């Protein structure tokens, strides 16, 4: 069996190349996935299989060994990755593994390897990896759905709280101008809650790699940004500065999604910033781009964690760090919304500077209508 393991190790690149070629033809979701993402943990699973073959002479030894963890870990991660890759289903994951098994068998047969117990071991190991991947895929989809629904439900509380506060602030003796302002804030908050409830209902059907449903329209975003700022000033005691020209911000946007993006950034800035120093929100309106930056003073985010905080389920269910959990899905939503608008989000966080999130939104990368965002858009 060790001899066969050496042969398979020498044919490793060939096996992966053949597998990739057939997967691209037979597995629909793979056609819209880049090469690195297609491979994912599959080469590691093959290495695990080769290691098993090197260590055991028969199938019974492998099946009874409680020390085998690596193939389980890589297959679980493979399932989690597929859950964040658009359009994958359980059937397609199983199909990938079936192709994997067939390719290995063909390569071994072509090199005159015909030992039945060996093929039985390979099939058993791949079947176990497949079960692990399907299980983690299903759990990850369920967790994504729960997280998206949870964050939408949580976000609904904010506009409802603002509406309630507006009602409590109603005072006819304050004058007509103040009354109109409070009435407008209450009206906007209730409308926002209704929009979020619609998003909550649509998130119930989330599939692999999918995020929230966005509804794009041609509009002026200026009033929405101003409303987020005014509501934040009413809710939080910290000083918030808005640097923005009072001019139309015309483009094709999902206003509810952009509001949630900005609210999440402001809330994070206040939560992690220095309470005695102002939060600064800067809006730069260019011909094709809308630039939104939110800056606070406080402890910087460690360099090694700056990329991971944007990525939903980056570390898998069992491996996520508590420090990253505290950021919740908010920054994933920020990245999701930015990329759905044809843009990006960049983080700068340094000692002495504080933390700044810079979001770029392309004004005309979409057409009016509905579109579901992707959780982790791939380069």
Residues 137 and 232 occupy one common structural domain: no
The residue among 312, 292, 264, 313 whose CA lies nearest residue 155 is 264
Torsion of CA 99, 102, 108, 110, to 10 degrees: -100
Domain assignment present for 8:
yes
3-class DSSP assignment, residue 240 = strand
The CATH number given to whatever domain includes residue 8 is 1.10.490
Residues 368 and 273 occupy one common structural domain: yes
Q: Name the one residue in this structure whose structure tokens are 């119930």.
A: 204
Tens digit of pLDDT at every position of the chain (379 positions): 778 888 888 999 999 999 999 999 999 888 877 777 788 788 888 888 888 787 766 555 655 555 456 788 889 888 888 887 888 889 999 999 999 999 999 999 999 888 887 888 888 888 889 999 999 888 888 777 777 766 666 667 666 776 766 666 666 666 677 677 767 777 677 777 766 666 565 555 556 666 778 889 999 999 999 988 988 888 888 999 999 999 999 999 999 889 889 988 998 899 889 888 999 999 999 999 999 999 999 889 888 888 778 776 553 343 334 333 333 467 888 998 999 999 999 999 999 999 999 999 999 999 999 888 876 644 3
Q: Decide which of 119, 142, 165 is a domain's last residue.
A: 142
Task: Give the chain's domain count.
Answer: 2
Query: Do residues 333 and 373 lie in contact, with contact meaning Cβ atoms separated by under 8 Å?
Result: no
Q: Name the one residue in this structure whose structure tokens are 């056609």.
A: 31
Domain assignment present for 132:
yes
Torsion of CA 48, 50, 54, 58, to 10 degrees: 90
Tokens standing for residue 110: 């072509």
Tokens standing for residue 272: 């992690």
Backbone angles phi, psi at 3, to 5 degrees: -65, -40
Query: Do residues 185 and 223 lie in contact, with contact meaning Cβ atoms separated by under 8 Å?
Result: no
Backbone angles phi, psi at 371, to 5 degrees: -155, 130
Domain assignment present for 197:
no
Residues 366 and 223 occupy one common structural domain: yes
3-class DSSP assignment, residue 215 = strand
Residues 333 and 224 occupy one common structural domain: yes
Query: Do residues 359 and 289 lie in contact, with contact meaning Cβ atoms separated by under 8 Å?
Result: no
Residues 216 and 123 occupy one common structural domain: no
Domain assignment present for 362:
yes
Angle made by CA atoms 322, 139, 83, in degrees to the nearest 5? 90
pLDDT of amino acid 154? 64
Would you call 87 exposed, middle or buried from its count of C-beta atoms within 10 A (0-12, 13-18, 19+)?
A: middle
pLDDT of amino acid 318? 37
Residues 126 and 213 occupy one common structural domain: no
Residues 237 and 96 occupy one common structural domain: no
Residues 223 and 353 occupy one common structural domain: yes
Domain assignment present for 96:
yes
Query: Do residues 148 and 212 lie in contact, with contact meaning Cβ atoms separated by under 8 Å?
Result: yes
Residues in the chain: 379
Alpha carbon distances (Å) from 142 to 242, 262, 319 = 39, 27, 17
pLDDT of amino acid 317? 40
Tokens standing for residue 81: 């990755």
The residue among 205, 214, 273, 213 whose CA lies nearest residue 240 is 273
Domain assignment present for 294:
yes
Q: Each residue of 125-151: b (16+ CB within 10 Å) or e?
A: bbebbbebbbebbeebbebbbebbbeb
Contacts 24+ apart (CB under 8 A), 200-204: 200/149, 200/152, 200/153, 200/156, 203/145, 203/148, 203/149, 203/152, 204/145, 204/149
Residues 228 and 361 occupy one common structural domain: yes
Q: Decide which of 85, 111, 142 is a domain's last residue.
A: 142
Q: Decide which of 142, 172, 191 is a domain's last residue.
A: 142
Alpha helices by DSSP H, listed for 67-175, are 70-83, 90-110, 116-169
Backbone angles phi, psi at 301, to 5 degrees: -80, 130
pLDDT of amino acid 160? 72
Domain assignment present for 115:
yes
The CATH number given to whatever domain includes residue 317 is 3.30.565.10
3-class DSSP assignment, residue 242 = strand
Cα–Cα dist 344/335, whole Å = 7
Residues 118 and 245 occupy one common structural domain: no
Residues 121 and 253 occupy one common structural domain: no
- What DSSP element (H or E) covers 251? strand 250-253
**Neighbour count for residue 205 (Cβ, 10 Å):** 10
Tokens standing for residue 148: 């998206």
Domain assignment present for 247:
yes
First to last CA, the chain: 40
Residue range of the domain that includes 87: 2-142
Cα–Cα dist 201/101, whole Å = 40
pLDDT of amino acid 172? 61
Residues 97 and 234 occupy one common structural domain: no
């Amino acid at each position: 069996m060790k001899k066969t393991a050496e042969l398979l190790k020498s044919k490793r690149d060939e096996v992966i190349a053949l597998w990739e070629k057939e997967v691209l033809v037979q597995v629909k979701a793979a056609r819209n996935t880049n090469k690195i993402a297609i491979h994912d943990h599959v080469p590691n699973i093959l290495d695990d299989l080769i290691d098993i073959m090197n260590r055991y002479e028969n199938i019974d030894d492998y099946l009874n060994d409680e020390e085998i963890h690596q193939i389980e870990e890589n297959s679980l991660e493979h399932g989690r990755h597929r859950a964040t890759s658009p359009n994958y289903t359980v059937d397609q994951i199983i199909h990938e593994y079936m192709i994997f098994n067939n390719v290995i068998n063909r390569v071994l047969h072509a090199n005159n390897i015909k030992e039945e117990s060996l093929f039985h071991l390979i099939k058993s190991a791949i079947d176990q990896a497949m079960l692990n991947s399907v299980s983690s895929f299903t759990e990850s989809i369920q967790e994504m759905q729960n997280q998206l629904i949870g964050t939408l439900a949580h976000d609904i509380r904010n506009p409802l709280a603002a509406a309630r506060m507006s009602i409590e602030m109603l005072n006819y003796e304050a004058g007509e101008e103040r009354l109109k302002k409070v009435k407008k804030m209450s009206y906007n908050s209730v409308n926002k809650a209704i929009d979020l409830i619609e998003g909550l209902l649509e998130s119930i059907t989330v599939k692999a790699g999918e995020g929230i449903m966005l509804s794009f329209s041609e509009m002026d975003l200026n009033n929405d940004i101003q409303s987020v700022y005014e509501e934040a000033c009413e809710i939080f005691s910290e000083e918030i500065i808005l640097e923005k020209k009072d001019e139309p911000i015309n483009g094709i946007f999902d206003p509810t999604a952009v509001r949630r993006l900005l609210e999440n950034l402001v809330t994070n800035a206040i939560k992690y910033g220095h309470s005695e120093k102002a939060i600064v929100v800067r809006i730069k309106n260019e011909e094709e781009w809308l630039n939104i930056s939110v800056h606070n003073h406080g402890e910087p985010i460690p360099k090694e964690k700056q990329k991971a905080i944007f990525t939903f389920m980056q570390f898998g269910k069992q491996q996520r760090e508590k420090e990253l959990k505290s950021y919740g899905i908010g920054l994933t939503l920020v990245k999701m919304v930015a990329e759905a608008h044809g843009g990006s989000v960049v983080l700068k966080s340094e000692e002495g500077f504080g933390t700044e999130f810079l979001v770029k939104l392309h004004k005309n990368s979409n057409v009016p209508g509905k579109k579901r965002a992707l959780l982790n858009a791939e380069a």
